[in-house]
Chain A
Amino acid sequence: MRGFLGTRIAQIIPTLLLVSVLVFCLQQLMPGDPALVMAGEERGDPQVLAQIRAELWLDRPLPVQYLHWMGNVLQGNLGYSWRIRQPVSQLILEKLPVTLQLGTMAFAIAVLIGVPAGIVAAVQRNRFWDYVANAIGLAGLSTPTFWLGIMLILLVSVDLGWLPPSGYVSLAEDWRQSLATTIMPAFVLGNAIAAILMRHTRSAMLTVLDQDYVRTARAKGLREFVVVLRHALRNALIPVVTLGALELGTLFSGAVLTEQVFSIPGFGKMIVDAVFNRDYPVVQGVVLVTAFLYVMLNLLADVLYVVINPRLRGA
């Protein structure tokens, strides 16, 4: 186990290095001149443009720009946002709790809906509750988050006045207000993932329920409840955990549309704004951090496999 972990952790460094090179090179392919965007309505003044290019090192060769940035990153400095002149690390630290809170709540909603629905659908295969769960799953998959978000705002906030339509308050500032502002976006995000989890749980459970050991468990006279939850579900969870880790990674990299609709100042909104404003240091910093989160979540999933299924310990 220790060796396995060591190897996996060692793989993280080249992965992140590759991500940094890729993101740096790819954004250079983006059309549009950052100096023109930074200058805003002063873009007509060539002096202003030259000044911006010199200040941001845009007039230097690409490898020099990369090495300069990477050198700073290795010293823990992700640079300054070109647009709002604040340290990227500070921006990330401000946004990370928002994204983590929203992602965790959405994931919890997804698991609470998706996994039980998948189990019920598998146990009740081709019966009424299976069809109901499938219909809900299909609806969840095919409803655009943008549309669902706007509809919820109109219904829950504008018509009923139960929750604030958008914005964000941190947990530390006011936990009730914080939950009130994030519950709708979390539901919108979790809804789509719940549908995916439901489908995968159902399919994994169906496979497992046909296995000999489940038949044996039933033959031993165990209650169906115990057979399903203790014997079948544990093995069926392996693919669901993989999927869950990937989905959680996606959630932590920011939910662009949902954050936009609910004006949640998280990673998604920050990276979209940064791309449109050609704020390269922010794009690079956020991509690097989300890549790191992604890799860590995958590592966590690998560890969880072993915890869930002890037979994998020797693998």
Chain B
Amino acid sequence: MRRFLLASACMLATALSVPGPAFSQTLRISLRQDLDVLDPATSTTYVGRIVFAGLCDKLFDIDEKLNIVPQLATGYEWADDKTLVIHLRPGVKFQDGEALDAAAVKYTLDRYLTMQGSFRKGEISSIDHVEVVDPGTVRVVLKSPSGAFLAQLTDRSGMILPPKATEAEGKDFAAHPVCSGPFKFVERVPQDHVTLERFADYWDAKDIHFDKVVYQVFPDSSVRLANLQAGTTDLTEYIAPTDVAAVKANPKLRLVVSDALGYSGITNNLNNGVRSNTPYGTNALVRQAFDAAIDRAALVKVVFNDMNTPTVQAVSKSSPFYDTALPPPPRDLAKAKALLKQAGVSLPVKVELLTPNQPDVLQEAEVIQSMTAEAGFDVHIQAMEFASSLAASTRGEFEAYLIGWSGRVDIDGNTYQFLHTGQGNNVSHYSSPIVDKLLEEGRGTTDMAKRLAAYQQLWPVLRRDLPVTYLYSTRNIVAMSAKLQGFRPIPDGMIRLQGLEMAK
């Protein structure tokens, strides 16, 4: 009997033994979340953009230093401050064989602007109309000058679709997306994976070294790490800061940390309903005291293993708009206490801090609670499931809201919608004529010097009013097999497949 059991166990083990990562031509990337729809017009998720990086090329891309570089375009010029002329790369084909030309660019931009349900409308609403000059040239005429427009074409709004296939698929386009990227769509199993296979006629085929890419969804960070350690995935687009030590200690793995585009901060309710009517919401001195009591460096060290970068600005150090003259100030408890005294408020000052109930964010809130208590604040943490916290913030049911933003290439995407009067994401209902004017100046010109000047004037006003208490800039923490070569850390966190290859 014992022999029989042993033999059965051996047979089962042999039957189930799974070959290791023998498919060297397949790249397996793990994602932290399931994506939404695979249509650039209606997609809204960060992880969806990572899959699009393999599926769809864009008119322009960004490089490590956030410079805008050509992709489907070979170059551009501003004919005047409202007219952008884009020169297209010749010989580019869509994955269905259709040629990518100016008519396709016009079709796509018009689709993003007019399609029912398109989420790209807001991003490119400055377009007045698009003209086909010749098959290789397209002219985009804006309603008014826009310094932020070009950066929109480095993301989903710049992904060009084939008119014939898109029309043929209609509403089902997301189920069978066709683009011009290095890999074409094979299948998607929701909550599990997306498979792409190499597109043979890709214009930059020499830089593609895998036959297939599989994006697998692993929401749990320790499971993402375990898969990487076991060799069942080759790269994970994000690992938790607490897992960094395990990656560093493993000679088979490599860690790449780089500045991202996002930030985390406390959005303060200044005028959104009755909950703004508190000493914290009505008195800037109280908010300044709160700000002075936070030790950003310690916060980042304790909660994020030093993996994020302390800041008081809405952009990271990688942005050309980052003001080097405004580093995050050190914690100043004496100043915080003096400011509270100057404000004439009775202690302790009660503040309710709304947070999404993710473990790291809760830990962050607890550290802030403890730091500010020493200055005279009594912070009550109100943890809420993410969607509920979003709804509460929109309705003004908060005093302070600890929330991050994944970030955009241009500074306008990190500021205007959160700080300009009346914007939907301005849940603090902050309204400052000076800030409004500076934000409009910053987005309303393509002259870089003028833009820089406008944003430099913005920070001191924001530091005084504190509609948002910026805490740290996020970083992309990517872990991969040590054999994987050619990875480029781009601030937007998207995984470029061009140049990636597995060492023999």
**Which residues from chain A sit less than 8 Å from chain B, CB to CB?**
30-33, 36-49, 51-52, 55, 81, 83-86, 91, 94, 150, 153-154, 157-158, 161-168, 176-177, 179-180, 183, 260-263, 265, 269-270, 273, 276-278
Contact = CB atoms under 8 A, between A and B. Distances in A.
A262 B171 CA distance: 33
B168 interface: no
B36 A40 contact: yes
B273 to A, nearest CB: 16
Given A31-B388, A158-B230, A85 B424 contact: no
The A interface is mostly helix, strand or loop, or mixed, namely: helix
Given A41-B44, A47-B122, A150-B222, A263 B216 contact: yes
B220 A164 contact: no
B425 A43 contact: yes
Interface stretch (B130-138, B187-195, B443-451): B187-195
Interface in B34-59: 34-37, 42, 44-46
B386 A261 contact: no
Contacts of B116: 51, 55
Q: How large is the interface on B (under 10, 10 to 19, 20 to 34, 35 or more residues)?
A: 35 or more
Contacts of B220: 260-261, 263
A263 B387 CA distance: 23
Contacts of B117: 51-52, 55
B18 A44 contact: no
B394 A33 contact: yes
Please give me the 9 A-B residue pairs with the lowest Cβ-Cβ distance, nearest first: A40-B44, A44-B425, A44-B424, A32-B387, A265-B192, A31-B388, A32-B388, A265-B191, A45-B122
Given A44-B417, A153-B223, A177-B18, A39 B119 contact: yes
A44 B390 CA distance: 11
25 contacts: A30-B388, A33-B394, A37-B390, A40-B36, A40-B44, A40-B119, A41-B406, A42-B122, A43-B394, A45-B121, A48-B121, A51-B117, A55-B117, A150-B226, A157-B226, A157-B230, A161-B230, A162-B17, A165-B230, A177-B18, A180-B18, A261-B223, A273-B191, A276-B385, A277-B387
Interface string B8-49: 000001011110100000000000001111000010111000
Interface in B177-211: 189-193
A97 to B, nearest CB: 12
A2 to B, nearest CB: 42
A166 B227 contact: yes
B193 to A, nearest CB: 8
Contact of B232 (A86, A162, A167, A168): A167
